[in-house]
Amino acid sequence: MSNIDRRTLVKGSFAAMMAGAAFSRGAFADTSEPILLGVSGPLTGPNAQYGTQWKQGFDLALDEIMAAGGINGRKLAYQFEDSQSDPRQSVAIAQKFVSNPAIVLELGDFSSPASMAASPIYQRGGLVQFGFTNSHPDFTKGGDFMWSTSVSQADEQPLLAAYAVKRLGLKKLAVLHLNTDWGRTSRDYFVKAAKEYGAEIAVTEGYIAEERDFRSTLVRVRDANPDGLILISYYSDGALIARQARQVGLKQVMCAASSVYSPKFIELGGEAVEDVHVGTRYFPEDTRPEVQKFIAGFKKKYNGQEPDAFNAYAYDAMNMAAAVVKIGGTDRKAIRDAFTKVKDVPSVIFGTATFDVATRRVKGAMNAELVVRKGQFALWDGKPT
Amino acid sequence: MSSWLDYTINGLIVGNVYALVAVGLALIFGVSRLINFAQGSIYLVGAYIGWVAVVQLHTPLPLTIIVVAVAAAIVGLIIERFGLRPLQNSVRIAPLLATIGISFVLDQLVMLTFSPNPRALPSQLPDVRFQVGGGTIGPLDLLIAGVGLTSALLLFVFLRYSKLGWAVRAASQDRDAAMQMGVDVNRVNQAVFGIAAALGGVSGMLVGMYYNQIDTAMSLQATLKGVVAEVVGGAGNVPGAVIGSLLLGLVESYGVAVFGTSYRNLFAFLLLVVVLVLRPNGLFASARQAPPEPLTGTFIAPSRPVRIPRWALAVASAGFAVLPLFPVSFYVLQTLINAWLLGMLALSLTLVAGTIGQVSLGHAALLAIGAYTSALLSLALNVPVGLAVIGGGLMSAALGTLLISPSFRLRGHYVSIATLAIGEIVSLVILNWESVTRGPIGISGIPPLSLFGYDLISPTSIYWFSFAVMVVLALLQGRLLDSHLGRSFRAIRDDDVAARAYGLSLNRYKSLAFIFGGFAAGISGGIAAHLYSYINHETFNTQQSILALTVVILGGLGNVVGAMLGAVALVGLPEVFRIAAEYRILIYGIVLLLLVRFRPQGLLGTM
């Protein structure tokens, strides 16, 4: 919200609510007005933390886009509407964005129920829904206005399986996963790949997002006698599992999905996450220029804070949106077509991102094999832990 | 074999954590007969005050505990003085709604102050581990157990042997008699809220240290598990709450051991339902103990409903019916569609909660049953959508009534808790019954609404359709309330002993009410499924149940027009407050509190 004058926004929202004829038609042809993107995401409610991380990534990307001269001389801005990741609110927001001619492209929502409930409205309204954290395999099947830069789990999980099985030499695995659409899909791809690489799956355990006590789950894992633990978790639950694994006496190697990649994982996990292996899409010492620019810019803007995976997704998404709008202009249909034309957009996650027009997703995520050493994420040196 | 020792220890450890919340809840319930939904929020506040003390002020542990206890007690006293005391002479359900509003406000204040990012709360105890069985326990486990047991013991002694304790017990047995005997009931309430809040705050801090993690989402979960533990032990029974918590921890741990992690909460809630059905006063109630809920239905006090003339209703309906003909945005229409869908749910709940007095806290389960039935009928069996939605309503009526029937013999708060548990059970069954529901992946590609071969795709047509369905259901319900059935329902609500003496079969009438209510809720869920095109186990969650109850209480219990008005208000308000961005839920909570404060009988009054 920090990018548009609050008063304009207040007036806009009021107008949209009361009469529906939101922004006056004269206004948006005016090139001094910013090009407006709609964002539907959680700012309150149980997923609020992810919405605030999005904002950090968006704001950094916008600063850089403005510094580089904006979109053909025009400003780019976003209007963030809080959905609480609730489908009831995301559908209302979808109608709000679709009926506001100033909005040229929509980003979000966060969770699958909220995003995919809104998809039919965006599809019929002819507004692109650009879901950059939507890994649900059916998300882009909602229609040709649904596009996603979320790393497909069909891509990511084989990389993690290769790290665990081929590189770390684990043979008998226990998989702990969030029992959500993301965690479940990820688990299935991981198990398939790990088996192909010759590992045995000793046990898989799915837990709900609110779970905090994992000790009994870990005893189950212990009794299955694996030589490695795979965490398909977010950073907060991943840290809890790592701590409690040490408490119940598990000393096996742990290997986690990229979604734990956050300074918070180390802050919350403390010594227990030491030597945890993480397959990620980028890492601090990565020499790629887009990564260095992202990390340096992020630290500068946010008082030395390290960016995490969700910051990076949002940063990439805003850069992609800018690249698309540069090609497509402000016409919604032209913007959809621009997604098929946009090529090699610099990306922290993908190196360079180009959409596969058939799946409306991006393939070829970068891969880095990290390990937590002395309270820092570091590139794995190949030594066993 | 050694694994079973480990499962037992782990169950006791987590039971310990639950006990801290359950004791506070039990204390408050013992005196005010109130499930304090704000207890989890006080626990959250305590955790964050602890964070400030430890991380910013570097206080040593004993001082940290004192700081947190005092600060949390002050919050508790403020809640008692300004949130609950003004409501003590109003309907018994008003304070319940007030605690829900207070919990919104407190959670939001914490989120706005500290940001929603989780934080580490380092333990200040030495990091030594003791080997027990295959695993280890640390000093914090012992401290948590110590605090739980000591506080339960102290409270037990206090209630039994001190003068203020007698006053507390007297007030809990018969408030009016206690007042006549010169007990200052307000002071008793203050003492109880202060103690319970101090305990809640310290628990939040200790649990935060235990997991080295605090975040704003911890409040609702703490309340849920605390309520389960408390009721298992016998509501209002402080030592029972500790034992109930340990038992809950054990059942969860053994459940994980035998069936796997994803079944964990299923066992927790099944335990609750079984205990409620077999021993409604909790495991540790003595046979002589007076029932904890009054014999007659003072839970819902009648009030004079606001009579709205028929012509006004007709004009309002006509106004809403022609609204899409005017240039209103699709956003407004979509918001009202949400209101109509919530309105159908509220009609269902106002019938079972308001008219017959079974206050359900698991109503979202009926939505889920309707939605999954309708989605699966249309996808797997190619049933036309219109029929599939009706199928959803019928399934919800049948299955919902069947599931809820064990709770028919319960009264007052116990019905709410049992239905809360049944709601959670339905959601967990949806999560785990993958061959039918596709588990967490959910059902996608649900076809849009259609009627007689015409797709209802535009917001205008969906608006008319959902509005028409709601109005038809409301008219039917109005007819029902005016018939002899309606009178029987209200008789059961107002005095079930007298109703039975007149020869009314309670179970049969309760079933009828749930069949009708289940149908309306199932229809609402079915329409939602086709509207969203994608549903999973999270689409219809506990927050929906709480929202529905809020709508019903706000509109006036049993009041058909009130249910619809409440739905429009509670869907509309958060949208109107959108301009306030992050502050909107805070404002919503405050508005809710003010409404409860000044219209405790609901906007239109109890019918």
Give the model confidence (pLDDT) of A74-128 as tens digits. Answer: 999 999 999 999 999 999 999 999 999 999 999 999 988 899 999 999 999 999 9
Tokens describing residue A74: 């025009």
CATH number for the domain running over B2-123+135-278: 1.10.3470
Number of H helices, E strands in chain B: 24, 4
Minimal Cβ distance to B440: which of A179, A211, A243: A179
Taking the alpha carbons at both ends of chain A, their separation in whole angstroms is 45
Residues B581, A43: C-beta atoms closer than 8 Å: yes
Q: Which domain holds residue A276?
A: 153-280+368-379
Question: Dihedral of CA B307/B310/B311/B312: which sign?
Answer: positive
User: A186 Cβ partners below 8 Å, 6+ apart?
Assistant: A135, A153, A156, A157, A177, A232, A257
221-260 in chain A: CB under 8 A from chain B: 222-223, 236, 239-240, 243, 247-249
Put simply, whether B125 touches A (Cβ < 8 Å) is: no
Residues B115, A184: C-beta atoms closer than 8 Å: no
Give one word for A250, left, alpha or beta, with left for phi > 0 and alpha for psi -120 to 50.
Answer: beta
Query: What is the C-alpha separation between B42 and B94, in angstroms, rounded?
Result: 20
C-alpha pair distances (Å), B220 with each of A173, B21, B39, B41: 34, 11, 9, 8
Tokens describing residue B93: 């359900």
Put simply, whether B248 touches A (Cβ < 8 Å) is: no
Tokens describing residue B162: 């001190």
Taking the alpha carbons at both ends of chain B, their separation in whole angstroms is 59
Q: What is the mean pLDDT of each run of 10 residues along chain B (607 residues)?
A: 82 88 86 84 95 93 94 94 83 81 91 89 83 82 86 84 84 80 85 90 91 88 88 82 91 90 88 85 63 52 79 92 90 94 95 87 94 95 93 96 87 83 92 91 91 85 94 94 90 84 88 94 96 91 87 88 93 85 81 83 82
182-241 in chain B: CB under 8 A from chain A: 211-213, 215-218, 221
| Assigned domain for A272 exists | yes
Contacts of B442 in chain A (CB under 8 A): 112-113, 181
Are the beta carbons of B410 and B276 closer than 8 angstroms?
yes
Put simply, whether A5 touches B (Cβ < 8 Å) is: no
pLDDT per residue as tens digits for the range A344-367: 999 999 989 999 999 999 988 888
Same domain, A333 and A190: no
Q: Which residue bears the tokens 């393939």? A: A363
User: B240 Cβ partners below 8 Å, 6+ apart?
Assistant: B26, B233, B234, B282, B283, B284, B285
Contacts of A240 in chain B (CB under 8 A): 211, 213
* Range(s) within chain B of domains with CATH label 1.10.3470: 2-123+135-278
User: B103 Cβ partners below 8 Å, 6+ apart?
Assistant: B37, B38, B40, B41, B219, B220, B223
Minimal Cβ distance to A206: which of B14, B111, B262: B262
* pLDDT at residue B105, rounded to an integer: 92
303-342 in chain A: CB under 8 A from chain B: none
Nearest alpha carbon to residue A345 among A149, A151, A155: A149
CATH code, domain carrying A65: 3.40.50.2300
User: B537 Cβ partners below 8 Å, 6+ apart?
Assistant: B368, B427, B428, B430, B431, B437, B439, B440, B442
82-121 in chain A: CB under 8 A from chain B: 82, 84, 86-89, 91-92, 94-96, 98-99, 111-113, 116-117, 119-121
Residues B331, A113: C-beta atoms closer than 8 Å: no
A275 pLDDT band, cuts 50/70/90, is: very high
Put simply, whether A8 touches B (Cβ < 8 Å) is: no
Residues A219, B538: C-beta atoms closer than 8 Å: no
Contacts of A112 in chain B (CB under 8 A): 442, 534, 536
Same domain, A234 and A215: yes
Q: How many CB atoms lie within 10 A of CB B5?
A: 14
Which residues face A38 on adjacent strands? A79, A106
Tokens describing residue B207: 């649990």
Same domain, A132 and A180: no
Are the beta carbons of B202 and B72 closer than 8 angstroms?
yes
* pLDDT at residue A33, rounded to an integer: 83
Residues B445, A43: C-beta atoms closer than 8 Å: no
User: B309 Cβ partners below 8 Å, 6+ apart?
Assistant: none
**What is the count of structural domains for chain A?**
2
Q: Which residue bears the tokens 């209007």? A: A79
Residues B331, A46: C-beta atoms closer than 8 Å: no
Residues A80, B581: C-beta atoms closer than 8 Å: yes
* pLDDT at residue B333, rounded to an integer: 93
| Assigned domain for A89 exists | yes
Minimal Cβ distance to B211: which of A20, A52, A212: A212
Residues A13, B253: C-beta atoms closer than 8 Å: no
Put simply, whether B113 touches A (Cβ < 8 Å) is: no
Tokens describing residue B428: 């967990």
Question: Dihedral of CA B588/B594/B600/B604: which sign?
Answer: negative
C-alpha pair distances (Å), B594 with each of B79, B463, B573: 13, 31, 14
Same domain, A233 and A375: yes
* pLDDT at residue A283, rounded to an integer: 84
| Assigned domain for A286 exists | no
Phi first, then psi: give them for residue A286, nearest 5 degrees.
Answer: -50, 130
DSSP letter at A201 equals: E
Residues A219, B532: C-beta atoms closer than 8 Å: no
Same domain, A130 and A163: no
Put simply, whether A206 touches B (Cβ < 8 Å) is: yes
Query: What is the C-alpha separation between A234 and A259, in angstroms, rounded?
Result: 5
Residues B459, A19: C-beta atoms closer than 8 Å: no
| Assigned domain for A358 exists | no
User: What is residue B245's three-state secondary structure?
Assistant: helix
Same domain, A228 and A372: yes
Contacts of A375 in chain B (CB under 8 A): none
Put simply, whether B180 touches A (Cβ < 8 Å) is: no
Does residue A30 have a cis bond before it (omega within 30 degrees)?
Answer: no
| Assigned domain for A232 exists | yes
Minimal Cβ distance to B575: which of A92, A179, A270: A92
Put simply, whether B264 touches A (Cβ < 8 Å) is: yes
497-516 in chain B: CB under 8 A from chain A: none
Same domain, A342 and A304: yes
| Assigned domain for A1 exists | no
Put simply, whether B328 touches A (Cβ < 8 Å) is: yes
Nearest alpha carbon to residue B468 among B350, B575, B322: B322
Phi first, then psi: give them for residue B465, nearest 5 degrees.
Answer: -60, -50
Same domain, A372 and A245: yes
- Mutation for testing the B interface, residue in A44, A266, A306 having most B CBs under 10 Å: A44
pLDDT at A8 over 60: no
Give one word for B448, left, alpha or beta, with left for phi > 0 and alpha for psi -120 to 50.
Answer: beta
Which residues face A174 on adjacent strands? A203, A229
Question: Dihedral of CA B24/B227/B585/A234: which sign?
Answer: positive
